[in-house]
């Protein structure tokens, strides 16, 4: 998925596993990145990164995650 990163949202270590399970149940491919991988993250934060999403998948993601979903920097 490295070349297809489109969106990300920031979460903490405690919630990352729950989000990962939910995304897997929805069939949304994703990876988890830590602060060392280049995104503007604080210590203790992780980014859950997805590839391109359909409108339906993006809506599901917005319902799942209450924070801001951001475009992955190019």
Tell me the residue range of the domain where 23 lies. 2-71
Report the CATH number that the domain containing residue 7 is assigned in CATH.
Answer: 3.30.70
pLDDT at position 57, please?
Answer: 94
Domain count, the chain: 1
Buried b (16+ CB within 10 A) or exposed e, 10-42: bbeeeebeebbeebeeeebebebbeeeeebebe
pTM exceeds 0.75: yes
| Confidence band of 74 (pLDDT split at 50, 70, 90) | confident
List phi, psi (to 5°) of 56: -65, -45
List phi, psi (to 5°) of 45: -105, 155
pLDDT (tens digit per residue) in 35-60: 887 898 999 999 999 999 999 999 99
pLDDT at position 63, please?
Answer: 93
pLDDT greater than 70 at residue 1:
no
pLDDT greater than 90 at residue 21:
yes
């Amino acid at each position: 998925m490295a070349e297809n990163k489109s969106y990300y949202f920031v979460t903490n270590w405690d919630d990352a596993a729950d989000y990962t399970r939910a995304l897997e149940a929805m069939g949304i491919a994703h990876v988890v990145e830590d602060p060392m991988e280049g995104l503007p993250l604080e210590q203790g934060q992780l980014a859950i990164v997805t590839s391109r999403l359909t409108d339906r998948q993006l809506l599901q993601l917005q319902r799942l995650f209450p924070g801001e979903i951001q475009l992955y920097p190019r």
